[in-house]
Structure 1
């Protein structure tokens, strides 16, 4: 582990993020561009070969789509029983799944305005929290803590009431194991064991949060000061609050491209037909021509075995494209991870550069760039695309290994012994921990790259040793603050979810009695707006706060090493942080 292990020396010329910098990790930048071009080529090839209808609609024994207009088996076709008999490939499962999907789609069409209202409420609450944190950080932190405890407490109370109310209902004591999987998810809400599980889960969460708050009560006061400083920084860089929209748009493109390419790749196989015999023949199960072709009926196989049939067997192919199809799927997954991690890394480095320019500005905001976000984004893309690609590549390799381990575990289900299970479990646990560690290192490395403009490896080593020299402060300030911000996200999700549930159940006010939609699954709008929508919106706003806290944290650690509080080397941190760290700037000596 090479790198700078000693504290950074005082540099009178350092005034914040360095503008005179060069390109870093150029080789990885070139590799990333080449892989992106290859990714585009894979997408074009898949789109020209695939047929997504194979995923949606069942096929018959000849590989023909069932019930589709314009096909030999449209809705008006008759099915005969005998020698050209049809059998459906997983037809029952496909039909049932399609019915569930259609019901969910109908729920979306019926409740889209409630979902939109929930998302708007989540955005307004998040913005309100950000504004209040700017002026009332200390009070808001304690309000968040109390509100989270109360919201979870109400959840326990509500689940307990439901559990008691089902005591007298017939069939409510059926266990979830005996019930099995049901497409009508509302059935589970009539089982007492479901509400008991909710009570246990919420109670565990409540106890864990309360215990953490008890043991960290003194540290919370320190974290509040850091949140106040982050609020002040965001006040000077308000455009940072809207940057997650840009990240979300890029991630949406990456996810959509991966999903579409994956579907077309998985449906680009050709139908393979084989000979099926009722009597034993030497050429049984050999590949044959399709049954719709007259070739098989006049072939030597048919003459030797009159009972033989040429039927659809599976989807495959013998071309070079089909032989390497699994490799193309692997490439699609790997590039998805790489591109998604790159977009996330770009957002982290951009925000880090903007907030670092705030911290190191001697006179705020006069010494800050006119547009901190745009300046930082431009530096990141112009000089450090290679560093972003390098860090994202390392993380993607670990993630793809985790995917392979899960794939191997799935394939070996039922055939592996205890030793193999234990080994796979250990490997999955180790790579999970390694992924978390690499994410932590990458995040801090991007901050150092944004400030000093060095390559990824140098920046990662500098950040690592800087944090190791301040391990106690890392645990006290950084992680406690992350925990408080997580409570804020939980509170927003809980408030929006409960509000929407009351509205859908016509329990909010009488004015909504005739407006709540009739849904197949009431959990659809609740799940979308609460878990997906509200959490993503809250996470987007609070992730800016978290990045601001991490950047300011590294900056004032550097500040402590560079400066000593004298008139010649004054600390650049705010008075709040000086008070937290029991530091102060000495006044200039009188003449």
Structure 2
């Protein structure tokens, strides 16, 4: 590749040649690159980099598989799908529970509270029942108010109404003299320890669960059902269900449940009816993104300068409006004009009205509009001066964008490269979610000793195993029992979940980095081809991918590890803030956490920018991550103004392209579904849908994602071409021995030329540095 073939691989070979005229050696940000006759693009003779990080990455991934194995052995995701009680028994399927198909929740309100993401499902105690409750009953409230008999005899019909955990006999516990749950006080404790349900509401089976009847039965009224026992229901937490907020919470949940159930059904039918329209819309977005990137070589300059002129015009119009309002208020004060401001007829005492009234008064002041006018004038002056001063750099930025468009057009396979990392990321997310679900369902039942006498070998509250306890025979005649206490995750699971989450961050960033190294290798091959497109390698994308996989997995793992560490720290800060809110709110600690969150957010953005440029250097020179990051950073700092200009212009044009494509396809879909494009409707039938806006939103989101993927490739092309351009200027001087690799148009803008004339009458002035 290149004009001539040379041997050697040291791109930083110290040559005797002085740097080209007009360039300075910066000690603060390193030395300018020197000419190397052996360098003609991504070097072939390279070695593996950051091997330790590669080994660490492999070991970590193996550890992630081990964590998944632990979750596989101990977890059971089916408990999230099938109705499963607090003891882990599947209702209607487990042995002994074949005739108990319905799951009953002790406190359904707990299912509507915030649940930790590390423990899925409703935290309420659950048991399997043969028949769901057919009435509303609140024994805990009755016990608190003394409305239950002081001594409920064995066999009393009242006991039949109690719903308790399997293995817990409320009758026996209550009537055992000296027992934990004996007598009226023990009866209340029975509910507080969640051995029995404190209350229940008339319910009906739905999806193998006992759900309040008014949630699933259109003929059942929430008011009628709750009125049967509402005045007596008190939760274990002390909340009274007569409180409006609690009742509204339950009713709102019911309405949302019913609305969502019907909405999902209708939306599903809409998708079935319009699936081909969605595919057409996504295909149109993909084609438009491809065409947009290709034509950027012709429209980049027009869009850039029109946008700058448009900004000038908007600011000028704003200054004019401020001046007109200033003159108008001056006439009002002199009595030559009458003032009429909207919103002054009536002012209520509400905060919104007070704010609007205060704002209206503020806008009636001459000084307000004078200040606005001065501020806009200063801003316009600054923007005009900056534009004039950076005019040459803007032209270079525009030309680089055009060159990047040509590079993408010459290697169209790069536009479809995002499919590879997308599929890899889908696999990673699936792996992470699977491990997370298995870990989240690796809970176990905890059993403790109850009613143990003083001379018993195990004290009350000591953990026990039911099978061993029964086989030991020590409980006979002692009154002691091994009873279920709770059903929760082991303490170590939360650490495994954080390990799994860190693995998600690392793997996702690893895939992103792999894509960036691959693309930058391909685009660097394009730039450093002296005769374009003849000197471009036959398979530049494959070459970049091969070098990344063969030599630089360690460097990719190193860079992605840095981002993953920053992300997990941000998650830990969020977790600490949530934990802080649960306890006593400390203003100082909260302020420190917010500052740390802001700092790490900025650090993540900076490191992503630095990593991206380091990957470009890795793809070109094959050095390790730290060396490449240092080289890229110093190169950018030596050209910091150009960096700012090229980044902002590129970001603006990419954003403009994404918005135009997404908005255009979405608007076209709206006109299509509303039958406003008759010639299309005559060719393609408009499907009958209930919520066409849902289909339009799906199309819009899909097109946005596709356009984002396409333009990310284009953004990588611009960044790679930019760094190559900067090195081209530092390495070469246009002589026969050191010719520039940049295009003729770029040399013309920079005032450069090679000794062999490429265009007539080219200026020999140096680019500004």
1:74 matched to 2:113: no
Deviation at 1:36, TM superposition (A): 1.6
Decide which of 76, 100, 107 is 2:267's aligned counterpart.
107
Deviation at 1:35, TM superposition (A): 1.5
Partner of 1:405: 573
Residues 270/22 of structure 1: CA separation in 2 closer, same or farther (3 Å cut): same
Conservation of the 8 A alpha-carbon contact between 2:82 and 2:90: yes
1:368 matched to 2:536: yes
Q: Distance in 2 between matches of 1:422 and 1:51?
A: 41
1:515 matched to 2:681: no
Partner of 1:530: 700
Q: Distance in 1 between matches of 2:614 and 2:464?
A: 59
TM-score normalized with structure 1 length? 0.76
Partner SS state of residue 413, structure 1: helix
1:283-309 superposed Cα distances (whole Å, 9 cap, x missing partner): 87665777x99969x99699769xx99
Partner of 1:117: 280
1:422 matched to 2:591: yes
Partner of 1:494: 663
Runs (5+) with no aligned partner, structure 2: 1-26, 103-128, 134-159, 166-196, 201-208, 213-249, 311-349, 353-375, 452-457, 759-769
Q: Distance in 1 between matches of 2:596 and 2:516?
A: 29
Q: Distance in 2 between matches of 1:493 and 1:276?
A: 65
1:509-558 superposed Cα distances (whole Å, 9 cap, x missing partner): 57689623224xx6643443323x22210011101100000000000000
Q: Distance in 2 between matches of 1:497 and 1:274?
A: 61
1:163-195 superposed Cα distances (whole Å, 9 cap, x missing partner): xxxxxxxxxxxx9x9xxxxxxxxxxxxxxxxxx
Partner of 1:359: 527
Partner SS state of residue 517, structure 1: coil
Count of matched residue positions in the alignment of Structure 1 and Structure 2: 514
Conservation of the 8 A alpha-carbon contact between 1:144 and 1:491: no
Decide which of 233, 249, 264 is 2:423's aligned counterpart.
249
Conservation of the 8 A alpha-carbon contact between 2:304 and 2:649: no
Moved more, 230-239 or 570-579: 570-579
1:560 matched to 2:729: yes
Residues 483/58 of structure 1: CA separation in 2 closer, same or farther (3 Å cut): farther
Q: What RMSD in Å do the two structures reach over aligned CA positions?
A: 4.1
1:31-54 superposed Cα distances (whole Å, 9 cap, x missing partner): 111222222222233223222234
Partner of 1:13: 38
Structure holding more helix per residue: 1
Moved more, 488-497 or 101-110: 101-110
Q: Distance in 1 between matches of 2:307 and 2:210?
A: 50
Conservation of the 8 A alpha-carbon contact between 2:87 and 2:487: no
Deviation at 1:483, TM superposition (A): 2.0
Matches within 5 A, 1:153-552: 221-272=395-446, 310=483, 313-316=486-489, 322-414=490-582, 415-504=584-673, 515-519=687-691, 524-531=694-701, 533-552=702-721
Partner SS state of residue 593, structure 2: helix
Deviation at 1:99, TM superposition (A): 7.3
Conservation of the 8 A alpha-carbon contact between 2:42 and 2:621: yes
Q: Distance in 2 between matches of 1:117 and 1:492?
A: 14
Residues 451/513 of structure 1: CA separation in 2 closer, same or farther (3 Å cut): closer
Residues 90/231 of structure 1: CA separation in 2 closer, same or farther (3 Å cut): farther
Partner SS state of residue 488, structure 1: helix
Conservation of the 8 A alpha-carbon contact between 2:464 and 2:482: no
Q: Distance in 2 between matches of 1:253 and 1:538?
A: 22
Deviation at 1:495, TM superposition (A): 2.3
Conservation of the 8 A alpha-carbon contact between 1:334 and 1:396: yes
Conservation of the 8 A alpha-carbon contact between 2:64 and 2:503: yes
1:100-151 superposed Cα distances (whole Å, 9 cap, x missing partner): 378436524531514333322221221221233355444566899999xxxx
Partner of 2:296: 133
1:574 matched to 2:743: yes
Conservation of the 8 A alpha-carbon contact between 2:502 and 2:568: yes
Deviation at 1:356, TM superposition (A): 0.5
Conservation of the 8 A alpha-carbon contact between 2:300 and 2:398: yes
Deviation at 1:12, TM superposition (A): 1.7
1:340-385 superposed Cα distances (whole Å, 9 cap, x missing partner): 1111001000010111011111112222211000011001110111
Conservation of the 8 A alpha-carbon contact between 1:137 and 1:224: yes
Q: Distance in 1 between matches of 2:398 and 2:706?
A: 23
Conservation of the 8 A alpha-carbon contact between 2:79 and 2:88: no
Q: Distance in 2 between matches of 1:579 and 1:355?
A: 22
1:26-76 superposed Cα distances (whole Å, 9 cap, x missing partner): 111111112222222222332232222344566545454568898654259
Q: Distance in 2 between matches of 1:45 and 1:493?
A: 44
Conservation of the 8 A alpha-carbon contact between 1:3 and 1:462: no
Q: Distance in 2 between matches of 1:100 and 1:30?
A: 48
TM-score normalized with structure 2 length? 0.59
Q: Distance in 2 between matches of 1:365 and 1:105?
A: 54
